[in-house]
Amino acid sequence: MRIDVVSIFPEYLAPLELSLIGKARQDGLLELNVHDLRTFTTDKHRTVDDTPYGGGAGMVMKPEPWAQALESIAKSGMTPEDGAAKKPVLIVPSPAGERFNQALAYELADEEQLVFACGRYEGIDERVIEWAAGHFTVRPMSLGDYVLNGGEVAVLAMVEAIGRLLPGVVGNPESLVEESHSDGLLEYPVYTKPSSWRDREVPAILLSGNHGKIAQWRRHEQFRRTAARRPDLLAEFDAGGLTRADKAAF
């Protein structure tokens, strides 16, 4: 997969050189390029923002530097004419976007190229979003119902969530199967040695060696936890998908 990120703070993306994602880049599993939006300006002050039409507080990002940046990225990548299966996806992080979640992380991990446009201030001139649809599949996306200062922190989260799903990035792919949200429920609690710690015992069932009973206990804990912490997820959980073992565990 290829990922391009455009930002006025390219240094913000430095953590993507570390840990699993950094290693995936070194191993050639992920090509990730960070672009400074200001290099696509033409004035002496490298201006990227201006006052909003209609008035109001804050500044809006000017359209032309964005068009230059996105056009240069579109030209440098594979186009459908070169045999790319489809247009790259342009993700615009915004609190006004579609809510990002694990299902979307899986969907985006199947793409050939993702481009992230990090807005700052009050956002990017809306005409960029319309115009970009000629080159990209445009998807404004929100991390959650709160406001960040810009898209960079959202990009760090989304690239990590997507990047770890790419083949070969996580050493043991089994660990992706039993984690929170992989099946619509939260993960069961986990324990390690010692079995007794500060007067607290590991649940006896986990020491029993009875794998069937352990699996049933874990499933029950998934339901219990989800009901307590995220009843909204439980409501969405497809009751038709419940197995007989699930019904017994619930």
Query: Residue numbers of the site for ligand ADE (CB under 6 A)?
Result: 93-95, 142-144, 146-148, 151, 154
Cα 37 from Cα 27, distance rounded (Å): 27
Angle at 21 between CA 16 and CA 26, to 5 degrees: 100
**21 contact partners, CB below 8 Å, separation of at least 6:** 30, 32, 159, 160, 163, 164, 169
Q: How far is CA 182 from the centre of its chain?
A: 14
- Give me the residue whose beta carbon is nearest to ligand ADE: 93
Q: Which is nearer to ligand ADE, 103 or 207 (CB)?
A: 103
Q: Which is nearer to ligand ADE, 58 or 144 (CB)?
A: 144
Least CB distance to ligand ADE at residue 136 (A): 17
Q: Map residue 102 onto helix, strand or coil.
A: helix
Q: Which is nearer to ligand ADE, 94 or 222 (CB)?
A: 94
Please enumerate, as own/partner, the contacts of 17-26 that have beta carbons within 8 Å and a separation of 24 or more: 20/160, 20/163, 20/164, 20/169, 20/170, 21/159, 21/160, 21/163, 21/164, 21/169, 23/169, 24/163, 24/166, 24/168, 24/169
Least CB distance to ligand ADE at residue 206 (A): 38
Q: Which is nearer to ligand ADE, 117 or 169 (CB)?
A: 117
Least CB distance to ligand ADE at residue 70 (A): 18
Least CB distance to ligand ADE at residue 97 (A): 6
Parallel, antiparallel, or unpaired: how do β-strands 89-99 and 113-117 relate? parallel
Least CB distance to ligand ADE at residue 183 (A): 25
Q: Which is nearer to ligand ADE, 142 or 226 (CB)?
A: 142
Q: Cα dist. 101→79, 108, 182, 194 in Å?
A: 28, 11, 10, 35
Cα 176 from Cα 30, distance rounded (Å): 18
Q: Which is nearer to ligand ADE, 24 or 117 (CB)?
A: 117
Least CB distance to ligand ADE at residue 98 (A): 10
